[in-house]
Amino acid sequence: MVAWRNIMVLLLVVQLCSSCLKEENAVQLPQPGNGTIAQVEQGELYEQQVYFNLSNKDTFNSRFAAWDLAFDAQDNNFFSYMNGGKLMHIAKVNSNIFSAVTDTTGLVFLWDAPSWNKDSLAIGNWNNNKNQIFVVDRGYLYSNFAERFWKIRIVDCNNNSFRFEYASIASTQSANIVIERDNNFSYQYFTFDNAGNVLSLEPQYNQWHIQFTRYRVIFSQNSLPFPYLVTGVLINPNMLQATVDSSYSYEKVDYEFAKNKILTKARDAIGFEWKYFDINAGMFKS
């Protein structure tokens, strides 16, 4: 259950309170004031990603693990993103012979930042990487080598589509696919499952503002990067900007306060750190 608290999104302040345990006691919600209390359901194991409309509280659900790659659907954006919620990684390959890429030996795998900032992506701008081959590690959900590791070769990218060649790293047969842009959406999705499919997993871009989902953050452990899965809130950068401020009470936030804040389109601007685990209560609180 998710309730809202202490998060400002543009001129709206959303109050959030979450429990992330499989079994938990009910949380007593505060009495509503001028704000609106809402909740979303992600399933017992948080397998659902939920898109939420702040204006009318409409929701749209899909499985967070259904997709591997997301592509910018809006014109003049030439980037793709991996599904960090599956702990995916992507490596650039030095060879330019697609059929010669048959294993992961010597590859350096990278990840996308949870912000999805353009300068912090494993693949980067597709127009700068034409004919480049990458190996995709689909993550911990796949124990079979042939299902987990795939290779792609960027063919083209323009304001109409993304085009690439792909195959399982264990296969000698490849296929080509075109991801058509649709300006009605923020992202188009692709999965390697079932020999490759384009998926529609979200509402039209102007019908959602925030998304509750599983994603990856990177901590540092002994000066080394340590990936960690979290459940938190991502924003729709084609609809809004956001900032987080816990120094001011929810009830006192108004336009005069909000207009002086520095807003960002980083997808994890809200993130997950608005909640903490209360070990005595045995639940997450905000």
For range 38-54, the mean pLDDT: 94
For range 91-118, the mean pLDDT: 96
How many angstroms separate the CA atoms of 243 and 259, rounded? Answer: 11
* Cα four-point dihedral sign 219, 69, 213, 146: negative
Write out pLDDT tens, residues 130-165.
999 999 999 999 999 999 999 999 999 999 999 999
- The pLDDT value recorded for residue 248 is 81
- The pLDDT value recorded for residue 82 is 98
**Phi/psi at 275 (5° precision):** -120, 155
* pLDDT over 80 (residue 43): yes
* pLDDT over 80 (residue 41): yes
How many angstroms separate the CA atoms of 147 and 133, rounded? Answer: 18
Write out pLDDT tens, residues 211-244.
999 999 999 888 888 899 999 999 999 999 998 8
How many angstroms separate the CA atoms of 237 and 264, rounded? Answer: 9
> Residue 143 corresponds to which tokens in the numbers above?
């124990």
**pLDDT cut 70: percent of the chain above it:** 84
For range 163-169, the mean pLDDT: 98
